[in-house]
Structure formats: C-alpha cells, structure tokens
C-alpha cells in the first residue's frame, strides 16, 4: 500500500452466490485484497470473472438474489450485513462509482444541473445558489468548458467524453475516499480515453483519492494502477505491484492475458488481386432545413471528397475520433445513405441503382456491427438470425437452409447444436460470432466491420481478429474495418485511412502510416494510443 497505514477498503475471503429458481451460481470465491489511501488497485479479467460483482459487493448493490459471506470493511465499518441506513450513508458519499456507459447511467429526462444537484441535496443538504456554485466548480474540475452554459443541457446533447466527465463530476460531488471505476473508458475513442485517464490520475494526486479500477484493457492498467489483481472464474489467481505482474507474470492465465495483446499481422495481398470497391471524391453532406418551406440554409459536411480502393483479400482500416465520418462513409459505400460521387463495385458504378437492381448487389455487401447484442433480435433463434439473409436473397443451388446455417456456425466456431437458442443465452464473443455468421452465410465480396471488437475482452478480441483473418484468406473477402483501437487496426489492416471531421487527413500502407505518419493528427492519435502501453 502507498504510504502504509490502515487501508481504505479491506476485503477478506469474499464469497458471492446468486440463487435463482432453486439453482446456485458461485460468482466470487475467496477473494481478498486491500486498497490503501491514494492507491489505485486494478481488478483485471475477462467477462464473467467476477470483477464487477466484487466491486458492487463493496456497498451491497447486488440485489436480493445475491448472498455474500466474508468481510468487506470500509475503514472501521463492516459492509456485509450493515443496516440499509449505514449503506445509504456510505454509497455516493464515501464510496462513489463511475460506470462504463454514461448514456445509460445518466437520466435522459433531466438536465445536468438537476442530476448533480440531486446528489448534493441528498448527501450535503446543498440547494439553490450554493448547489449551483458547487456544480459549476465540479464541472470545471473535470474539464467541461464553459460549465455555466452546460447546466441546462441533457445527456444526449453531450459527446461521449463529455458525458463521462459529467459522471466523474457526480462521483466526486461529495468528496469520496474511494472511487470505483467499472470499465469507464471502454466505449471511448483513444484520444478521449487518454484524456479521461489523465483526468483520473490528476484527481487521484490532488485529492489523494483511492481507486478500485475494473477493466479488461491491460494497456490502461499499465498506465493507471499501482497494484493488480488478476481474476478468473471468480477467484484472484495472481496479485502484486503492476510492474511485477507485467514484467514477470507467474500464473498461466496472466501470461495468456498479456499474450492476447499481440494480434499479429495480416497476410499480404497478392499484387494482381482484383479491385472489389472504389470511391472517387465521395461526398456526404446532410442538408440543414429551416422554415415552413424547409429551405436548405446550410449543410452538415459529414464526409468531404473521400477516395479509397479495396481489393480482394485486402482490409482498409478507417480510424478517427467519434464524428469523424468513419461509419457514415462505410454506410454510403453500401448505399444505405445518400452520397455524391462514383461508388464502383466489381467494375460497375452502383451509385444510381434502385430497387431490384440494387437488391441483387446487396447480398455481396454485408456489415457486422459493434454491439452484437443490440444488432441481434432477441425474439429470433440463432438459426432464424443467421438464415435471415437466405430468406431474403434465396439459396444457391436450392440447398437446405438449416444445413447451410450448421456449416457456417461450425466455420465461425459455434456449435450447430445450439442454433435453437436465443442471443441472450450466449456470451459476448459468441454473439459476435453469430453476427459474423449472419454476414458470411451469403458469401459476400465486401464486408464492413464497424467496431466489431470494441465491446469484447482482450482474449476474445484476438479470437475474433484471427477468425476474420482466416475467413478473409479462405474466401478472398474485402474488408472495410472501422475502429478506434489502433492495435486491432494494425493487426487486421493492409491499408489505413485516417479521418478527422469529415476529411481524409492521411491514407497509405498500414506499416507506413503507423511507423512514419505524415499528418500531425495521426501522430496525435498514435501518441494517445501509446499512453496505453507505457506507465508514468
């Protein structure tokens, strides 16, 4: 522990069991660790390892189906079995949480001022101008520019980074001793991630905050944690100082996690590979219309003059911050949104195609989205989801659809015997394999991959990247791969396009862009990504 003395949080032999429908699930087994004053301890592991359950146990937020034994002491207070009045005093006051997705944690119906004021009134009795002054000070502290003008804003009117800063302000509102951050940067761009991590590090130093940091991103752990606890199947399998864990891991599972950071490189593309898709100065402007007659008074310039070419067996990686135009460009190439400029697919300009003519091209162009759970219908079985494209476009040679579903499931690493199940019965990595199977069953020529690994654990990311590479090699697929994770982009892409506010600021061979970037913006992106690999 930093500075010695009594720990802020001490967990001893924590066991958590969930009881439902007569069955018991042991989520946490014999977990013990401490968090000292001013110290950051990281809980690391894959989904289902027990990280979040352990964190939520600290203030008894697991619900009625959970049964906890052991000891969790905040200072001199025993939290397991504590009366509800004591837990309410500690929650949000002495121990505060920052969650992964601020959009679901913030109330969409209330302004920022109302949401922050609620906590101040509840815990400190602050109201009126005193509460307003405190809110402005908090928003300033977390780096929100012109906070006075933001008080009346709603969460949807802020960027992802700004929403996460508001969540941090709410967590800091009552001067907590311990901040529990549960995957607070997973959904953010690499530059915003770096800013949030720097902010947390600065607050930790200034306020002498203690932090329990939950993540599956080992690069973040390197930067922010003093000590690491590696969790697997509800148990801590290894713990120690960060430098020691990374420099000399003792457990096989820890070594596997560290090895998962290396995604390898794609196979080279043959020089004579045919061109699958090409754009020339593609422009995507959305009109701004006002007045009764809906006159166009301006344009939102989402993409300006984007030119690219992708060959058979080649991956074009598109990187940039949120709002840079990455996904908009890909959707335009697939003719899902209007654009101006040639889109040449297999030698023909498809820009003007309509109806049946365009439908005949659709089966050769598929997309895999970021959130596999959100893109899969919860009311359809896996068989129905994967076969949906066959129902629309028909099967080749009159083959049986169920047989084709079984074949593609086996090819993407899923058990065909599970095709009768529903999406909620699968893990995140398995759901992404289902989404990939749905796209691949039609044997497309071009696949758009829109952040397909960002919601997945490191080890699962590596598995999905390997699967995508194998499918590309086997079928000569052309990929457009959109991501803010430069490590994964490097592992999958042959060429890279860098976008900023609708403009293509750099484009070239992946190795050249990563090793010798020409654009200052690209250098900034790479520098932000580098903060994940080095420790202060």
pLDDT in tens, 362-372: 889 999 987 76
Query: How many angstroms separate the CA atoms of 385 and 77, rounded?
Result: 51
pLDDT over 80 at 501, yes or no: yes
Query: How many angstroms separate the CA atoms of 57 and 50, rounded?
Result: 10
Query: How many angstroms separate the CA atoms of 212 and 43, rounded?
Result: 7
pTM: 0.76
Query: How many angstroms separate the CA atoms of 173 and 169, rounded?
Result: 6
> pLDDT tens across 72-89, in order?
999 999 999 999 999 988
Strand pairing class (495-500; 23-35)? unpaired
Q: What percent of the chain has pLDDT over 90?
A: 52
pLDDT of residue 531: 52
> pLDDT tens across 133-151, in order?
999 999 998 888 888 988 9
pLDDT over 60 at 183, yes or no: yes
Most confident of 259-273, 345-359, 365-379: 345-359
Most confident of 68-82, 208-222, 519-533: 68-82
pLDDT of residue 536: 37
Structure tokens of 160?
């992802």
User: Could you tell me the CA-to-CA distances from 499 to 139, 478, 523 in Å, in that order?
Assistant: 30, 20, 13
Average pLDDT, the chain: 88
Structure tokens of 341?
């400029």
> pLDDT tens across 43-66, in order?
998 877 899 899 999 999 888 889
pLDDT of residue 102: 64
Count of beta carbons in the 10 Å neighbourhood of residue 207? 15
pLDDT of residue 22: 74
């Amino acid at each position: 522990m930093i500075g010695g003395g009594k720990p802020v949080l001490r967990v001893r032999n924590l066991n958590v069991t969930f009881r439902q429908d007569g069955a018991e699930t042991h989520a946490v087994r014999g977990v013990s660790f401490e968090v000292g004053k001013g110290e950051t301890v990281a809980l690391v592991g894959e989904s289902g390892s027990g990280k979040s359950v352990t964190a939520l146990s600290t203030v008894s937020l697991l619900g009625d189906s959970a049964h906890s034994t052991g000891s969790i002491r905040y200072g001199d207070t025993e939290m397991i079995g504590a009366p509800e009045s004591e837990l309410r005093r500690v929650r949000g006051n002495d121990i505060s949480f920052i969650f992964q997705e601020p959009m679901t944690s913030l109330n969409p119906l209330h302004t920022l001022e109302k949401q922050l004021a609620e906590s101040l009134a509840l815990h400190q009795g602050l109201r009126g101008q005193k509460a307003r002054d405190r809110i402005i000070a908090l928003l300033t502290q977390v780096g929100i520019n012109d906070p006075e003008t933001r008080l009346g804003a709603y969460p949807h009117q802020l960027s992802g980074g700004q929403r996460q800063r508001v969540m941090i302000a709410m967590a800091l509102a009552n001067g907590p001793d311990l901040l529990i951050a549960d995957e607070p940067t997973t959904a953010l761009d690499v530059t915003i991630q770096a800013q949030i991590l720097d902010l947390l590090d600065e607050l930790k130093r200034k306020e002498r905050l203690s932090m329990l940091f939950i993540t599956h991103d080992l690069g973040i752990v390197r930067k922010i944690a003093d000590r690491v606890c590696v969790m697997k199947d509800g148990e801590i399998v290894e713990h120690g100082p960060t430098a020691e864990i990374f420099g000399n891991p003792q457990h096989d599972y820890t070594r596997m996690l560290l090895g998962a950071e290396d995604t390898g490189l794609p196979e080279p593309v043959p020089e004579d590979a045919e061109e699958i898709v090409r754009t020339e100065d593609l422009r995507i402007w959305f009109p701004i219309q006002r007045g009764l007659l809906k006159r166009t008074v301006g344009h939102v310039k989402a993409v300006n003059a984007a030119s690219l070419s992708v060959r058979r067996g080649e991956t074009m990686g598109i990187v940039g911050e949120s709002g840079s135009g990455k996904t908009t460009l890909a959707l335009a190439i697939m003719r899902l949104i209007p654009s101006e400029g040639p889109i040449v697919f297999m030698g023909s300009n498809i820009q003007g195609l309509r109806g049946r003519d365009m439908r005949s091209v659709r089966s050769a162009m598929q997309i895999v989205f970021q959130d596999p759970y959100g893109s899969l219908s919860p009311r359809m079985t896996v068989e129905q989801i994967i076969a949906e494209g066959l129902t629309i476009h028909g099967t080749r040679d009159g083959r049986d659809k169920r047989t084709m579903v079984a074949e593609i499931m086996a090819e993407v690493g899923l058990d065909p015997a599970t095709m009768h199940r529903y999406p909620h019965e699968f893990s995140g990595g398995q759901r992404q394999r289902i989404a990939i199977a749905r796209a691949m069953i039609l044997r497309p020529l071009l696949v758009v991959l829109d952040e397909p690994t960002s919601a997945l654990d490191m080890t699962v990311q590596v598995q999905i990247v390997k699967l995508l590479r194998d499918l590309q090699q086997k079928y000569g697929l052309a990929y457009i791969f959109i991501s803010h994770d430069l490590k994964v982009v490097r592992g999958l892409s042959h060429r890279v396009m860098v976008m900023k506010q609708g403009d293509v600021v750099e484009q070239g061979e992946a190795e050249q862009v990563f090793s010798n970037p020409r654009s200052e913006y690209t250098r900034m992106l790479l520098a932000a990504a580098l903060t994940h690999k080095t420790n202060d």
